[in-house]
Amino acid sequence: MKQISFEQIEGKASRLPDNPRVVVSGNFATPRALLRAVDRSLPTYILHMLNAQGELPRREGVIYETTFVGPAMRKAPGLRYVPCRLSLVPVLFHRRLTPHLVLLHTSTPRRGHVSLGLEVNILPAAIEAVRRRGGLVIAQVNPRMPHTFGDAEIPVEDIDYYVEVDEPLSTHDLTTPDDTSRIIGQRIAEKVPHGATLQLGIGAVPDAVLGGLTEHKDLRIWTEMFSDGILELEANGCLNEDQPLTASFVFGSQELYDWLDGNHWVRVMRSETVNDPGQIQKQRAMTSINGALQVDLSAQANASRINGRIYSGFGGSTDFIVGALHSRGGHAYIALPSWHPKADKSTIVPLIEEPVTSFQHSAIVTEQGLAKVFGNTEAEQTRQIIEHCARQDVREELWEAAHRLGRV
């Protein structure tokens, strides 16, 4: 790993083929200063990021590519969305979407290693793929990036060049859940047994679920990501101290980042481990909680598209739903409000017209109630969804649709 200046990056980038694929840390770990320098050096390139946040280079010659669409790429013209389970994205790097340059945001070196800190995810696979084909790995080394362990630690020999940048990390502060999210979160929390393993995302409902678990004991964490709610569980003695907290990325407050730095209790692992359904099913009472945009009377969920346009993607929900259902005592919950306020319509619909993201969950939960899905007949699933998930004023319409569809 050799230090270079931003001015020297242009010379390094000139070695790349025309229109190279550049894989960059996403989520809240994007190396923004390094990405700007590379953008100045390449007239055209493919920018591949997972759940991209904040400002990105947006000009002619930059093509966005992703397997999970974040806010920074959403609605971008020419976006290349590649449908894929998160556990299989590393396979894409080796077979189809081979990178030419990988840009990382890391900690400063310790004992011959830097740490990927807040995000590991698909990055180790990208590093392996780019090194196999003789491409480049460049790191933005930041003393503010927490040093995390597991697959987060990268030998300095695996990085070709680095630039030093001391800048604050992006943060996401915990917010108070709204009434609808609080009700949904409480319904799910009541179903979580002591000693369960949790997969929770970011947002009002996951925060509300965690808020309802402060009396639980012996909880374990095996999840794509976690945020500040973990700190409250630790403070209340809810977590099993003998089991490492396992995730593939983290984002939250500066307090959370300070807690992560040098914390051997936390393992930040690569996606093909964390999202492997075979590994997920081994976790005790695996409890997976994911959101959706719509659910229909066949218990199918759409979490990816709005009016035909890609909104997010599969992410890891399909991996965790399958793994959780195979776990002994495990459950997979889909959580959503029963009504979409902006569209002013029910999120419980007769039949989803968008591509289906997932199906066959343990239960579907709204602020109206909890519908049991797994193990019930199609007719009983339909009854549960209408009577326990939909608003009262749309139930008659849904029953009429159920008869037309032959669901009852």
For the chain, how far is it from start to end, CA to CA, in angstroms?
65
Question: CB of 363 within 8 A of CB of 331?
Answer: yes
Residue 99 DSSP code: -
Question: CB of 105 within 8 A of CB of 30?
Answer: yes
* Residue that is written with structure tokens 């930041």 in the block: 142
Over its C-alpha atoms, the chain yields an Rg (Å, rounded) of 22
- How many other CB atoms are found less than 10 A from the CB of residue 254? 12
Q: CB within 8 A of 303, min separation 6: which ones?
A: 290, 291, 292, 293, 312, 315, 317, 357, 358
Active site residues: 224
Q: Is residue 406 exposed (0-12), middle (13-18) or buried (19+ Cβ within 10 Å)?
A: exposed
Tell me how many degrees the CA angle 306-310-315 measures, rounded to the nearest 5: 110
